[in-house]
Amino acid sequence: MKVDLSNDFKEKYRNLMGERADELFAAIQENSQEAFRLNPLKANYKNVSYGLDNPIPYSNIGYYGDINGNSIDHLSGYVYSQEPSAMYVTELLDATGNDKILDLCAAPGSKTTYIASKMASQGLLVSNEINAKRAKVLSSNIERMGITNTVVTNNSPKDFEKKFEQFFDKILVDAPCSGEGMFRKDPESVKYWSLDYVEQCANRQKHILDSTYKLLNNGGTLVYSTCTFSPEENEQNIAWFLEKYPDMHLEEIKKYPGMEDGRPEWGNNNSELTKTLRMFPDRFNGEGHFMCKLVKDGELEEPKERQISDGLKKDDFQYVQKFAQANLANLSQNNWLKISDFLYQAASLDSRFKGLHILRNGLKLGEFKKNRFEPDIAWILALKPEELKTDFELDQAQFEIYLHGESVILTDRPNFDNKWIGLSYQGKLFSWGRYSNQQIKNVYPKGLRR
C-alpha cells in the first residue's frame, strides 16, 4: 500500500534533512520490518515453532520474523509480536526484580510485557493507560503472557501525582505522539497528521513529563520515547525538560549500527542532546523511533508501604484450599486479595492504589461461586506444568475442537482423580478443562474462541 505523504510533511523534512529526506520518503514506502519476542516467564520458552536464526542484536529474546496470532505459541503467551526499534526502549530501562516501575502510557502492552519478562515475577510494575478501550487490550495481553507482578490502571498521569510522589525507581514514558515513524506500518495514520497535530502532541507530552518528574524517586531513571521523527516532540521536549528540571540529566546510551545521535540543532543546540537516540528506517532495520535515558540526581529512597486488608473470610480460604488440594501440586498464599467475588494474587496491597481505576492487580486466580471456587484462565497461563496435578496434552483435532468452544470426548477413560485439569497443545499450557465422565468440558473464555 502506497503511503500518501502530505506536502507539509515533505517540505518540513526537506528543510530539516536536505537531500537525505528523499531517502527517508523512499523508506516509508517499503514494507515494515516484522519481529517478535520470546517470553522467558514460560516453561521451555525457546520451544516455539518460529525460527530463531535471525536474532535482534540488542535483545537476547528478540528475533526478526512474523508470527501467526492464531498459533499456540501466541495463544499461550510464548511469543509477542513487537516492532524491532521499540524493543530497544525496554533495554534502556534495565528493569530488574528489585524495582518499582511505572509504564505510564502502556497500551497495547508491547513494552510493559517486555519489562515484566525482565523482572521475573518480582518487584512491582504499574502499567497505566488513559484510554479505557486500550487499557482493556493492555490487561488482556498481560494476562496472556502469564505476568503476575503488574497492576493495570486506567487513569490520567495527574491522578498519580498526589498518591505516588517520588515513588517509582524507574519510569517509562512511551509518549502518545504524531506517529510519523509508523506511517509505513499503519498508512491510515497519515490521515491524522498535520503541523497543528504535531504541536498538540508536543504540548501533551510536556504535561506528561511534568507528572513523570513528580513520580520519579531521587536517583531514579526515566526513559522517554516516541515513534515519531518530529523534533518538536523529541529533542525540543527534552531540551525543555532539562531546562525546567536541572536535577535531571541525560545518560549516554549504546548505539548499534544504524542508530544515530539526536540532533542538538533540532533542539536548543545543547550538545547533551547527542546522547539521545534516533532510528530512521532508511538507515535502521525497523520503524522510526526516538528515545533517551534520563536520571534524577540523588539517592534512591524507599517509600513506606501502607497495606490494605485482603478482604478474605474463613470460608474463602477453605474453598481455595479445597480446590488446590484436588488440582495443584502446591499453593502459594502470597498477597491474596479479594475484590468483589474474585480472588487475586495481588502485585501490591499498598493503599496508595485506592481511588485509582484498577483493571487488574497482579494475577487473577479465580472466582468464588456458591460453595465453591472456580479458577480463571489467567492462573493457568501463569502456571508451569509441574505445578499441576494433571496436565493433559491435546492432539491437533482435540485442540481445534476446544478452541472452537466444544467439549473434547475421550475414547479411553483416563486416570484423573481431579476435576480441573491443565490443557496443553505442543507442550504449552493454554487453558483449564473441567473433566467429567470421559469428557473435557469447555471452559475456554468465549472472547478467545476461534
Residue 288 annotated as binding site: no
Residue 120 annotated as binding site: no
CA distances for 145 relative to 76, 256, 432, 445, 449, angstroms:
7, 28, 16, 16, 17
Cβ-contact 419, 368 below 8 angstroms:
no
Cell 478452541 sits on residue: 403
Cell output for 348: 501490591
Run of H or E including 79 = strand 79-81
Distance CA(97)–CA(122), nearest Å, equals 4
Distance CA(170)–CA(103), nearest Å, equals 9
Cβ-contact 253, 201 below 8 angstroms:
no
Cβ-contact 82, 35 below 8 angstroms:
yes
The answer to whether the bond into 108 is cis (omega within 30° of 0) is yes
Residue 99 annotated as binding site: no
Residue 111 annotated as binding site: yes
Residue 181 annotated as binding site: no
How far is Cα of residue 209 from the mean position of the Cα atoms in its chain?
A: 20
Run of H or E including 432 = strand 428-436
Residue 108 annotated as binding site: yes
∠372-375-378 over CA atoms, to 5°?
A: 160
Burial class (CB in 10 A: 0-12, 13-18, 19+), 249: middle
Distance CA(161)–CA(244), nearest Å, equals 18
Residue 109 annotated as binding site: yes
The answer to whether the bond into 55 is cis (omega within 30° of 0) is no
Residue 329 annotated as binding site: no
What are residue 260's DSSP bridge partners? 278
Distance CA(398)–CA(17), nearest Å, equals 57
Residue 177 annotated as binding site: no
Distance CA(280)–CA(13), nearest Å, equals 12
Closest by CA position to 61, among listed 83, 79, 77, 73: 79
Catalytic residues, by residue number, are 227
Distance CA(66)–CA(76), nearest Å, equals 17
For the annotated binding site, the residues are: 105-111, 129, 174
For the annotated binding site for S-adenosyl-L-methionine, the residues are: 105-111, 129, 174
